[in-house]
Amino acid sequence: AQPLLTIRGLTKHFPLKNGSTVRAVDGVDFEVLKGETLGVVGESGCGKSTTARLLMHLMDPTAGELIFDGRTVGSRDLPLKEFRRQVQMVFQDSYASLNPRLTIEDSIAFGPQVHGVSKKEAIARTHHLMDRVGLAPSRFAERYPHELSGGQRQRINIARALALQPRMVILDEAVSALDKSVEAQVLNLLSDLKREFGLTYVFISHDLGVVHYISDRVMVMYLGQVAEIGPSDSLFAQPAHPYTKALLSSVPSMDPAHRTQRAPLAGDPPNPINPPTGCRFHPRCPQAAAVCAERVPTISDVQLHHHARCLVHEFSSGHPLATADQPALA
C-alpha cells in the first residue's frame, strides 16, 4: 500500500525552567499506509500521545515534517485547515470532548458547518452517522452528553469525527475507559466504519491485546523514539527489540501454563528528561552490552517490512562493525 501520511524527523522538545529539556518526541520517522490500522504502543511517557497531537498539528513540532498523500502539511498545497479536516481524532475521555450545552445532533453537525457545509446537509450527515454508530436519531438527537453512557458518548465522538469525512482517524486510548463488553462492540464498530468509509486508523493504546486484535502493523515507542515497527502478526509472534519482548512478556497471560514466564519490566521507568546515552533502553535491557551505553542504534531491518532500533539487529543485518575484530553482540 502507498503511504497516506509520511512522518519525517518528528521532534517535540519542551524546555523546562531549570534549563533541562523534556524530549517527548525525538526524531520519529514512520509511514501510515493507506487503509491500514497502525497500532502505537509503549509505556506512559514514551511519546505516543504527543506524537498523536503532532500528527493532528494540535501543537507545533520542534522539528520535522508531515507529508499527507504527497503534499506537505502546512504548505500552500495543503493548508492546515484542510489537513485538519482530513485527519480527525477520538480521545479517551468521551465526556471532555463533547460540549455539555450542545445536543448530540448539534455536537455532530457543528464541525461540518464550520467547514462550510450547509446546515441541512450537516444534519442529514449527522442522522446518517447516528444510525451507523447505533444511536437512532429519533431517540438521541435532542439528548445531552450527560444523559448518555460512556460507550454511547464514545459512539457520538466517533460520529462527530466522521462527520467531517476525514480520510484518517487517530484514536488515542479511544476504548480504554470502556467496559470490556462495550469495548468489543466499539472495536467492531470501528472496523465496520473503516471498511465502509475507506478510512485509515492510527490506534494508540496501552492495551497490547486490543492493539494486536485491531492493528495491521504496530509501532513500539520508547522514550520518544521508534523502538520497533512491523506487521502485527510478525511483531507479536517474533518481537525483535528487547523492549518489545519485555513489554509483551509483562502482559498477564490467560494461559496458566505460561504465567510463570511473566517478566515484568525491570529498572527505572523511562524519563524523557536527559534520556540515557547510547541506546535509550540500555539501563533496563537484559541483553545490553558495554557498547550499548555508547553507540546510538539506528533502525535496521529484521525482516521484510519489520524494523528495530537495536545494535544486535544493526550488526547482524550486515553492519560494517560486525567483523571478526568487533563481533556482533551475543
Q: Return residues touching ligand SF4 (CB under 6 A).
A: 241-242, 279, 281-282, 285, 287-288, 292, 297, 310-312
By C-alpha distance, which of 107, 160, 166 is closest to 132?
160
For ligand SF4, give the closer residue by CB, 117 or 279: 279
Residue 126 in contact with Mg ion, rule: CB under 5 A: no
Nearer to Mg ion, 177 or 248 (CB): 177
Minimum distance from residue 177 beta carbon to Mg ion (Å): 12
Q: Which of ligand SF4, Mg ion, none does 282 bind, CB closer than 5 to 8 A by kind?
A: ligand SF4
Helix (H/G/I), strand (E/B), else coil: 301: strand
Is position 49 an interface residue for Mg ion (rule: CB under 5 A)? Answer: yes
Residue 192: closest CA among 162, 226, 227 = 162
Residue 32's binding partner out of Mg ion, ligand SF4, none, with CB under 5 to 8 Å set by partner kind:
none
With CB under 5 to 8 Å by kind, the binding choice for 163 among Mg ion, ligand SF4, none is none
52: amino acid identity, one letter: A
C-alpha distance from residue 120 to each of 17, 126, 159 (Å): 50, 10, 17
Cell of 246: 519485555
**CB nearer to ligand SF4: pick between 73 and 246:** 246
Tell me whether residue 115 or residue 245 sits nearer to ligand SF4 (CB atom): 245
Decide: helix, strand or coil at residue 308: strand
Select 135 or 221, whichever has its Cβ closest to ligand SF4. 221
Residue found by looking up cell 476525514 in the block: 166
Q: Which of 197, 235, 151, 183 is nearest to 35 (CA)?
A: 197
Q: How far is it, in rounded angstroms, from Cα 71 to Cα 97?
A: 29
150-162 and 180-197 helices, crossing angle to 10° = 10
**Could you give the angle at which helices 150-162 and 104-114 cross, rounded to 10 degrees?**
20
70 vs 209 by CB, closer to Mg ion: 209
Look at the block and give the residue holding cell 524523557. 272
**Cell numbers at 290, concatenated:** 558495554
Is 205 a binder of Mg ion (CB under 5 A)? no
Smallest distance, ligand SF4 to C-beta of residue 264, A: 17
Using CA atoms, how far residue 275 sits from 24, 25, 74, 200, 278, in Å, is: 10, 12, 31, 32, 9
Cβ proximity to ligand SF4, 118 vs 277, nearer residue: 277
User: Least Å distance between CB 222 and ligand SF4?
Assistant: 9
Q: Nearest-CA neighbor of 233 among 314, 303, 316, 313?
A: 303
Residue span 3-42 as binding mask against Mg ion, x where in contact by CB under 5 A, dash where not:
----------------------------------------
Which of these ranges, 44-52, 153-161, 189-197, 277-285, lies near Mg ion under the rule CB under 5 A?
A: 44-52
Burial state string for 67-106 with b = 16 or more CB within 10 A and e = fewer than 16: bbbeeebeeeebeeeebbbbbbbbbbbbeebbeeeebbbb
Q: What's the closest the beta carbon of residue 62 comes to ligand SF4, in angstroms?
A: 24
How many whole angstroms separate alpha carbon 322 and alpha carbon 315?
A: 5
For 56, the grid coordinates are 493532528
Q: Does 51 bind Mg ion (CB under 5 A)?
A: no
> Residue 49 or residue 126: which is nearer to Mg ion going by CB?
49
Report if residue 50 touches Mg ion, rule: CB under 5 A: no
Could you tell which of ligand SF4, Mg ion, none binds residue 49, using a CB distance below 5 to 8 A set by kind? Mg ion
Q: Rounded to the nearest whole angstrom, what is the least distance from the CB of residue 91 to Mg ion in the complex?
A: 9
- Considering the complex, what minimum distance in angstroms separates the CB of residue 283 from ligand SF4? 8
Q: Which residues here bind Mg ion, judged by CB under 5 A?
A: 49
